[in-house]
Chain A
């Protein structure tokens, strides 16, 4: 077996050094009635070539989004990742290291995490950020849990514009805590009055920006209303590229930003692994979940980095920890950091402008199709359209014609019948004018 170094002679010599006749005797603490070495209905070992063949055959049964015009978003946006990113994250010193528990031999990881924390805080206009969470949905749930700790209040208000999976993960996370989660109904028209849902028991309002339906709206008034009642404003972001072009949540009064950071540096990966971002105000740092890297010096006075403030964390505080998170999304954070370093402020602004322009042009094209209405007025790279027919079969018909034409809201909101004819459409820098023409033409054809 190619990954196992021992020869039979090595094993014999080692058993002799241990003083036992066989490996079986090392398992003598396993109760005798427990079967050992059962026969499995599983294949035996295979060559690299054989495994590659088998899994490549499975991969080829999928339609890669990059192989066809693709306009899917809903929390996962397809972007071009520069070749340098994937090259660098595959360096073994990054890929095959553990969490930086021994800082003297982990300065590479610690330094990039410190850069990552700075990039994330700056992107959102916040003061500090942690070293990552699992994904945008779990980061949002953790933000609501943190708001409960900070305010010592037990009522969480979720805007109807929050991604329904972020909503569900948050609701599930609160299921067994003495707290209530109030989820406002989804309202693509923008008529929601989250302000009216805040009372003196409210720990936070969680609102998404841009929201689930693609809308962007000023959050300043909502932040003020939260603060007037002693509540926090949590802003969830599922498309970080937007922040290259629109005001950051921190500038509008957000107290915590929880985001999906996968758009930078990372592939779509069918939904995982993704990258949870978590940013907040300095004064809340001791209630923040997750790992955090801080600057310090070594005994020679040279600058260096360490994991810090670990008295918040499970390995020290156990049941009193701010979260149970241990393994996070380190390598995805590295990919984000490298992509961000390549882009710089100018590059991100340009990338965002390109996304927005493509989305505007796509919206114009789709609005010209008979019976199709674009219902999102202000948006970044995604918007909602109303079709004259149920969206699910339309999307199936488009897929059969070689276009991945958006996400039917019915897939995410099966409980809302009035969403049956709504389609969520995204455009990024990866979509060409020809892609958009083809999508519009095929949609018109399918709708006839």
Chain B
């Protein structure tokens, strides 16, 4: 089949459905929900009854089911195949976790019920915190951040609070050139200026440059370890010593914790603070963009500044400290970062994942993740180009040197992978290498699956090198859409449906 293949009357092609927007198929006066007539009362709306028309479309339940079923069929997903998006840890999402998160005792509890009625929920948060502290060998963890970036904010705010409390405010945060964009963005939200630290020729932070950049105004160094080139920072202990000598804190972006779980504890590396993406390492589903959960482990020096709320245990059982005024003497919470108490639904899933694996299974999982990435490295090294030598950790980074003079870019290559039935890797990140291919297979992939993947990548690389650029430039051909015009989308933004967007087209 090609995208310009024979036309059909309906516009559909077999199982490939063209699906209109709900606004185009809905009809006024229809609803997919039956609700009783409200009891007659004199309203108490203070004259504010809605006069402005609401444009939501009317659909029946079967129409809604069909619409979203058809939309779902236009998505790639882990459930469908290999999703080697580096830095994102697209591992299998166990269905037990979904089932447990939906138990009424977790899903149907109100955040402000009397604490006597939610002792099981608070025990679960406390248990998950215990696992996280053990796996990181760090003494405290703040549970409320909603995602990785939010955890970064929590960690940097704790650092800032600790330094301000010593009456020694500092204004600068160092990040490596290879850092994820959230790192500098977060530092700016905490009022810090950001200074970049270069990498050395081995893809690690240049220790001499780091030492030069560290001064009495440096609040923290933010490192991802393993770093975003997929490499373990082999001078991390020297980095930690230099950071601490300068009176700064060592922040670790824990997005890549999947390489280390059960084997190396970040607390043993001199790290003061690390966020953990439960939606990466601990398998809570990414849901097409979220929700996530980003607990932050803290050293003893930072723990007193953890935000509210947090769970404490006393003679009456578990209790929540919800306001700074309620904090015990000696604690100075940095404030509040989120409504209510954090991502409970994600906590249940992450704990189920940890309990299912156990300490032994978590070590096996991180070992398999690293094994898989190194297997991909070994099988592709002679066909693609490696900017830095291995071994890698849980992801492997290639650059586009092998595509030099082929007329094929990393983007074109990625689109050709789509035609081969794979989700592309992360592309053009990290920024430190040209045309990055960041491949993270995770522990969920079988050897057979990886063998098909590497065979495909090898043959694509060979085809590109043989001068056959055309199929790359035309790719994807076998996806629900071919290449989309992103420039047009940004130049003339159309961010919502309006009847007038498509004159004559609307129902």
Contacts and interface: CB of A to CB of B under 8 A. Distances in A.
Note whether A and B form a binding pair. yes
6 contacts: A14-B372, A48-B96, A52-B100, A270-B118, A306-B486, A314-B185
User: What interface size band does chain B fall in?
Assistant: 35 or more
Interface in A101-140: 101-109, 111-115, 117-119, 121-123, 125, 127-129, 131-132, 134-138
Among A61, A138, A333, which residue has the most Cβ atoms of chain B within 10 A? Answer: A61
A396 to B, nearest CB: 6
A378 B72 CA distance: 43
Contacts of B393: 26
Contacts of B443: 3-4
Given A29-B234, A61-B119, A308 B446 contact: no
B334 interface: yes
B46 A6 contact: no
Given A274-B340, A298-B484, A319 B188 contact: yes
Nearest to B189: A324
Interface string B192-213: 1110000000000000000000
B116 A396 contact: yes
B407 interface: no
Interface string B464-507: 00000000000010011111111011100111110001000000
B186 interface: yes
B46 A217 contact: yes
Nearest to A61: B120
Interface in B23-68: 23, 26, 28-33, 35-36, 38-59, 61, 64-65, 67-68
Given A114-B21, A273-B146, A319-B187, A347 B32 contact: yes
Interface string A250-281: 11000000001000000111111110000000
Contact of A414 (B68, B326, B341, B344): B326
Contact of B184 (A30, A44, A318): A318
A122 B56 contact: yes
A120 B73 CA distance: 24
Contacts of B114: 395-396, 399, 404
Contacts of B234: 29-31
Among A11, A111, A334, A411, which residue has the most Cβ atoms of chain B within 10 A? Answer: A111
Contacts of A260: 339
Contacts of A193: none
B157 A176 contact: yes
Given A350-B38, A360-B41, A269 B345 contact: yes
Given A14-B375, A347-B35, A360-B43, A46 B355 contact: yes
A427 to B, nearest CB: 11
B459 interface: no
Interface residues of A, number: 216
Contacts of B93: 95-96
A216 B46 contact: yes
B397 to A, nearest CB: 14
Given A82-B61, A108-B71, A378 B44 contact: yes
Interface stretch (B244-252, B288-296, B398-406): B288-296
Given A324-B188, A338-B68, 9 more contacts: A42-B358, A62-B119, A72-B112, A92-B78, A310-B490, A328-B289, A333-B289, A380-B45, A399-B113
A175 B154 CA distance: 12
Contact of A42 (B80, B134, B193, B348): B134
A86 B103 CA distance: 13
B444 interface: yes
A136 B340 CA distance: 10
